Structure 1
Amino acid sequence: MVITWNKKTIYIDPTGSVAQYKNFAAPDLILITDIHPDHLDPKIIDTLNTSKTLFVVPQAVADLLPGVEAAKITVLNNGNESSKLGIKITAIPMYNIPETPDSRHPKGRGNGYILNIGGKNIYISGDTGDTKEMRALKHIDVAFVCMNLPYTMDINHAASGVLAFKPAIVYPYHHKGQDIKAFKKLVNDKNPKIDVRLRNWYPN
């Protein structure tokens, strides 16, 4: 995902191919949610112009970025906050439900994020289940919520979580193979005020 605001460019989990980023400015800020290769891709990071880039990552990701100067990395643990480039960043726990010893996403390793940008709160879920922390979110203007079986949650759990924290706008993302139109119906049948926006995240 790429967000531009106030002449700043923010990359979240830059992965894929170099060509995907050719039409975007070099990142001023990179946020990474987790260690898996669909979120952390050191080869892509190496191809980007990161000479002026700041990184915000969980500790597990920082441990896998040996090519990045330590001074450019801010480590946020779950619940921590930091401000970069006029953006307040809060790390939100992301983990699988139920919690098990062999979980793909154990609690405390990765981060979802809330970005306060221009007075708006943008929530990026990362690879999470329908956690109590997500359900307890308040005042979210825009939410990007995953639904990617078997790694995160299905559309029913995602819809339940969204109905609990009531973002003004929600984009299903990281949803390959899931029926996002059915997700939209699940949400809007119970709360038509939530603006569910569907986008083509997988054009190829």
Structure 2
Amino acid sequence: MKFKLIFTLLVSAVASIANAQRPVPDHEKTKGGELTIQPINHATMVLTYQHKNIYVDPVGGAEAFKGEPAPDMILITDIHGDHLDPKTIDAVNTKHAILVVPQAVADKLPNADKSKLVVLKNGESTTKFDIGITAIPMYNLPESPTAFHTKGRGNGYVLTFGGKKVYISGDTADIPEMRALTGIDIAFVCMNLPYTMDVKTAASGVLAFKPKVVYPYHYRGQDTGEFKKLVNAGDKNIDVRLRDWYAK
């Protein structure tokens, strides 16, 4: 009994250390209950709603998710290694998680359980665990066959939790499809050159579709303080939340 107690305390301590390296999670109220937002690193996060856990672009191995509950859904935006890591999926997936992916990602997961694989093209939608999921284009401008991100290959996503709409940009430029979004409550918007947008362009895009809350993410090497300044100069009512997605 004493050994079991000591073991439990050690596990708890390890989890606490891992969690201490991450930003404190945010909690948002929805009509269906609380949505918890836990940044992990770069483009990776965990969203929890109605006791269901969504891993977005899980990379970094099992170590990156210490202390986090197992995923019920894994959402992947693109084929690049900072979004798709089959070894991490294998490490964190308890075999019951649904994988929501674009076709290009599915092609790189030949051993995935097809009954757990949901493939969405840009513009397609589905509902899982009472969560609405719509695939949104993500691509570079100007469009080119040799661009880092070509139109139709990857997915951004709009998720609907109890009436609250959450936009995850994936790797995109300031594209018309993003600027045309409406009713977005929370947005995660990328910014890093030369792969996506610079700070000024990302701020311009955000001011076009005006989410209530925006998190800059996938921003390695960019000045998120300047992003906040630009967004709030254009619209002081947008809640720009700066979190350290690169904490060690």
Asked whether 1:10 is paired with 2:54, we answer yes
- Which residue in the other structure is 1:44 paired with? 88
Instruction: Give the TM-score, by structure 1 length.
Output: 0.98
d(CA) in 2 for partners of 1:48, 1:17 = 7
Quote how far apart the aligned CAs of 1:48 are.
1.3
d(CA) in 2 for partners of 1:74, 1:49 = 15
d(CA) in 1 for partners of 2:162, 2:191 = 27
Alignment of 1:52-201 (within 5 A): 52-201=96-245
Letter in 2 for 1:168: K
Offset from partner CA, 1:37-92 (integer Å, 9 cap, x none)? 00000011111133210011000000111221111101000000000111000000
Runs of 4+ in 1 over 4 A off after TM superposition: none
Quote how far apart the aligned CAs of 1:170 are.
0.1
Instruction: Give the TM-score, by structure 2 length.
Output: 0.81
The RMSD of aligned alpha carbons is 0.7
- Which residue in the other structure is 2:26 paired with? none
d(CA) in 1 for partners of 2:246, 2:56 = 16
- Which residue in the other structure is 2:69 paired with? 25
> 5+ unaligned residues in a row in structure 2: which ranges?
1-44
d(CA) in 2 for partners of 1:143, 1:50 = 28
Quote how far apart the aligned CAs of 1:148 are.
1.2
Quote how far apart the aligned CAs of 1:156 are.
0.8
CA contact (8 A) 2:190 2:218 kept: yes
Identity of aligned residues (%): 63
d(CA) in 2 for partners of 1:185, 1:16 = 31
Aligned residues: 204
Q: What SS class does the counterpart of residue 9 from structure 1 fall into?
A: strand
Structure whose residues are more often helix by fraction: 2
Moved more, 43-52 or 54-63: 43-52
Moved more, 166-175 or 45-54: 45-54
Tell which has more relative contact order, 1 or 2 (C-alpha 8 A, sep 6+). Answer: 2
